[in-house]
Amino acid sequence: MQALLIFRFTPKATLDAVVGMVKAESRRNWELYAAGIFRQSWLFEDLSGAVVIAEVESQAQANDVANGFPMVEAGYLTTEAVILRPYMGIEELFAEPFTPQRLSAPPPS
């Protein structure tokens, strides 16, 4: 399954505080990409954070991956991990009869 990982800088993440961690942060990103976990990574245009599409087995793994970055561990980044599922709305265009209940979220597991 895929997860959207959202990273945002905290107020304590000053340039002086994080500049020495950039290499370690980038190394961790590369390790996860090389392992096939990270698929795509982007910075926010204003450089206040980043988002990643990750391949994970569970919500717990998504949380662990997001929380395993040096800047997260140091309290300079907050994280949010959102499990994604395919958009089913297009399928409903062809379903007979149309059943909007299929668009609702599955019950929590």
Q: β-pairing, 77-84 with 38-43? A: unpaired
Q: Which domain holds residue 98?
A: 2-103
Does residue 47 lie within any of the structural domains?
yes
pTM above 0.85, yes or no: no
Average pLDDT of the chain?
90
Q: Residue 104: what pLDDT? A: 67
Please say if the pLDDT value at position 57 is more than 80.
yes
Least confident stretch, 26-40, 60-74, 91-105:
91-105
**108 belongs to a structural domain:** no
pLDDT-derived band at 103, boundaries 50, 70, 90: low
In a domain, 54, yes or no: yes
Domain count, the chain: 1
Residue 69 is predicted with a pLDDT of 96
Q: Give the count of beta carbons closer than 10 Å to the beta carbon of residue 25.
A: 19
Residue 109: inside a domain: no
Asked if 91 and 104 count as a contact pair (C-beta separation under 8 A), the reply is no
Check: CB of residue 80 under 8 Å from CB of residue 6. Answer: yes
Per the domain annotation, does 79 fall within a domain? Answer: yes
Task: Specify the CATH number for the domain of residue 14.
Answer: 3.30.70.1060
The predicted structure's pLDDT at residue 88: 74
pLDDT > 80? residue 70:
yes
CA dihedral (7, 13, 15, 16) in degrees, to 10, reads -140
